[in-house]
Amino acid sequence: SQQGEEDPQALSIQEGENATMNCSYKTSINNLQWYRQNSGRGLVHLILIRSNEREKHSGRLRVTLDTSKKSSSLLITASRAADTASYFCATAAFYGNNRLAFGKGNQVVVIP
């Protein structure tokens, strides 16, 4: 099964800086999704980008998708302490009943 792999694994930044995370995958996808997980909580959906899209924005989030390189990036601009969390990418295959294959996650710490 396909699986997202994030890079880097851990990131520590100052409040106000931008944070960038990357994700690579191995097979063709229908869409790629990014989720956030705060400590001790479930995953929260952030943004979904379809395989025919190259870039998508949602508030301070910017996601890019390069299907030729099988990679995606998540940019969080003007980070806040509340952005401290783990971020996961997940891929959905065509005809996969919306099943997701998750990467191992990036831990982001935003220092006030």
Q: Would you count residue 29 as binding other proteins (CB under 8 A)?
A: no
- CB 28 to other proteins: min, Å: 14
Q: Write the binding mask 79 to 108 for other proteins: x where contact by CB under 8 A, - elsewhere.
A: ---------x-x-x----xxxxxxxxx---
For 28, 73, 103, the CA distances from 76, given in Å and listed in that order, are: 26, 10, 18
Which residues in the 36-75 window bind other proteins by CB under 8 A? 40-45, 48, 50
Choices 19-27, 28-36, 64-72, 76-84 (CB under 8 A): range interacting with other proteins: 28-36
Question: Residue 12's closest CA among 69, 84, 97?
Answer: 84
What DSSP assignment string belongs to 49-102? EETT-SEEEETTEEEEEETTTTEEEEEE-S--GGG-EEEEEEEE-TTSTT-EEE
Q: State the residues that interact with other proteins by CB under 8 A.
A: 1, 3, 30-31, 33, 35, 40-45, 48, 50, 88, 90, 92, 97-105
